[in-house]
Chain A
Amino acid sequence: MTTITYATRDSVTMLRRNLKHLVRYPSLTLTIIGMPVVFLLLFVYVFGGTMGAGLPGGTGSAEGDVSRADYLHYVTPAILVMTVASVANSTAIVVAKDATEGIIDRFRTMPIARSAPVTGHVLAAMAQTVLAVVVVLALALALGYRAGASVAGWAGAAGVIVLTGWAVTWLSVALGLASGSVEAASNAPLPLILLPFLSSGFVPTGSMPTALAWVAEHQPFTPVIETLRACLEGRDPGSDVWWAIGWCILTAVTCCWWAGRLFGRVRAV
């Protein structure tokens, strides 16, 4: 076998190990899915009536299920992206925990592909992302969310989720390796959770103060959420899609390189 097939095989072995961990430690996955679920319910049932009425083209009155349904429609793409970020939060913790385990030193004395442990984490986190997004989307549909997307639109939406998941996963793997302890790792990705709020995901940027609106319009989550929204509504996302792809690739490549360097020096003393 060639080096590439060995590297693939080792990565799949590591993926299997990480998936077993996820199954044996289900509370982490439940937390991951729990957070966006709570936010979805909160935003639709608590804030939804008022927020929906305030949307451009809204009824203007803070009453009725109409505004609530409008807001569900508006906020679902943001909640889906937040789900992706929520997985990243746990990935950083899992990676930091694993890096402190004795078995990592054992791996490092074995003739396995250097990248395999990290790749295994990335693949497991991607699987978790897909699972979590499907669950949250199913809940949104159950609450009455209706996407107007064609098959192409759904494919585009899936693409946005996977690409975003890939980028934030690499970011959280690097953060997990860099933090050096589980405690530090649990705080490191906090900006990832907060950043979606400062985007066009929950309210249109036009309703924000000028400075904040500028930040919201230029931060990576806005084009990602807008592209997802457009795909789900069956519209053409325009230039947002290129910004989204650019941000994701930039993040993933930078963090992949960073994680590689960090993994080289991880020492379990």
Chain B
Amino acid sequence: MTYRDTAIEVAGLTTSYGDHAVLRGIDLTVPTGTVYALLGPNGAGKTTMVRILSTLVAADEGRARIAGFDVRTQPDRVRRCIGVTGQFSAIDELLTGRENLRLMADLAHLDAREAGARVADLLVRFGLADAAGRRAATYSGGMRRRLDLAMTLVSRPRVIFLDEPTSGLDPRSRRDLWQVVRELLAGGVTIFLTTQYLEEADQLADTVGLLDGGRLVATGTPAELKLRAGGETLDDVFLALTGHAVATPADQDERQAAR
């Protein structure tokens, strides 16, 4: 396979913090233009995985390629292809929504006219046009999440990482975000997302990987996994394949509230 059909290729990825092994030999392949959902409970290693694939930290062992480029040896080439929305907000609170987007456009080296048009377009698309002139510090949680994602899209990345993109969003915002993901897909991008919401993986993913104890305990389409576990929902799947349940949205909301 060439990079034309493989957006993300991971082989034998292993990493630990001190003597705590977080990832123990992850192999996965994500075809271009598809959505891969990495599903796992708190502490499973989802964020670690995203940080390795987005060149923020180096894995101890193994190899990862994004759009054909090695994350360790060609980080700059990788960075030119990717957009990352991390689990925690990565916006500049002292700048307005518009200025945040403009900052991204300037760093993407768009010329002034193109940058202006792109920023205006994203503000409208993410429902931030009315709040564009307000400092991001005054935004609600949902608005921050949308701004965060809009900032990721300014440079038109080909491979997008979304680490728990809908945590802390209400059901409506969640559905809106799913809609955005579908539109992006129609534009041919590849999406790697992590989630604790089973419904989310079911809704969006072409392929789901179940991460537990640092290993991918199951991989397949949502339908395949359901068949394998003989259950109706991914909840059943998780229980059948790992012996314990995934966190529910309620658990997660509690976790958000505790922050």
Contact = CB atoms under 8 A, between A and B. Distances in A.
A27 B82 CA distance: 38
Contacts of B88: 102
Contact of A112 (B83, B95, B107): B107
Nearest to B47: A269
A109 B82 contact: yes
A163 B190 CA distance: 49
Contacts, number: 58
B76 A17 contact: no
A236 interface: no
B91 A102 contact: yes
A261 interface: no
A111 B95 contact: no
Interface stretch (B51-59, B173-181, B249-257): B51-59
Contacts of A102: 86, 88-91
24 contacts: A9-B106, A10-B107, A13-B106, A16-B106, A17-B92, A20-B99, A21-B94, A24-B94, A25-B94, A101-B93, A102-B88, A102-B90, A105-B90, A106-B84, A106-B86, A106-B151, A109-B55, A109-B84, A110-B79, A110-B104, A111-B79, A111-B80, A112-B107, A267-B56
Contacts of A9: 106, 109
B103 interface: yes
B135 interface: yes
B109 A103 contact: no
Interface string A86-118: 000000000000000111011111111000000
A10 B109 CA distance: 8
A1 B109 CA distance: 10
Q: How large is the interface on A (under 10, 10 to 19, 20 to 34, 35 or more residues)?
A: 20 to 34
Contacts of A13: 103, 106-107
B155 interface: yes
A21 B93 CA distance: 10
B127 to A, nearest CB: 21
B84 A17 contact: no
Given A110-B155, A267-B57, A103 B79 contact: no
Contact of B90 (A6, A16, A106): A106
Given A108-B56, A109-B79, A111-B76, A20 B84 contact: no
B48 to A, nearest CB: 11
Contacts of B80: 111
Interface of B: 54-57, 76, 79-80, 82-84, 86, 88-95, 99, 103-104, 106-109, 135, 151, 155
- A-B complex: 8 closest residue pairs judged by Cβ atoms: A102-B90, A106-B90, A111-B79, A13-B106, A109-B84, A111-B80, A109-B54, A24-B94
Contact of A103 (B57, B76, B91, B106): B91
Interface of B is mostly: loop
A102 B109 CA distance: 22
Contacts of B155: 110
Contacts of A107: 107
Contact of A17 (B89, B91, B95): B95
A24 B109 contact: no
A112 B57 CA distance: 17
Contact of A109 (B56, B91, B99): B56
A107 to B, nearest CB: 8
Interface string A31-63: 000000000000000000000000000000000
Nearest to B51: A105
Given A13-B107, A25-B94, A101-B90, 7 more contacts: A9-B109, A17-B92, A17-B103, A105-B86, A111-B76, A112-B107, A267-B56
A267 B155 CA distance: 23
B168 to A, nearest CB: 14
A16 B141 CA distance: 26
A24 B137 CA distance: 12
A25 B92 CA distance: 13
A1 B110 CA distance: 12
Contacts of B89: 102
B46 to A, nearest CB: 15
Nearest to B152: A106
Nearest to B77: A111
Contacts of A109: 54-56, 79, 82-84
B78 to A, nearest CB: 9
Contact of A105 (B56, B76, B135): B56
B6 to A, nearest CB: 20
A103 B83 CA distance: 13
A111 to B, nearest CB: 4
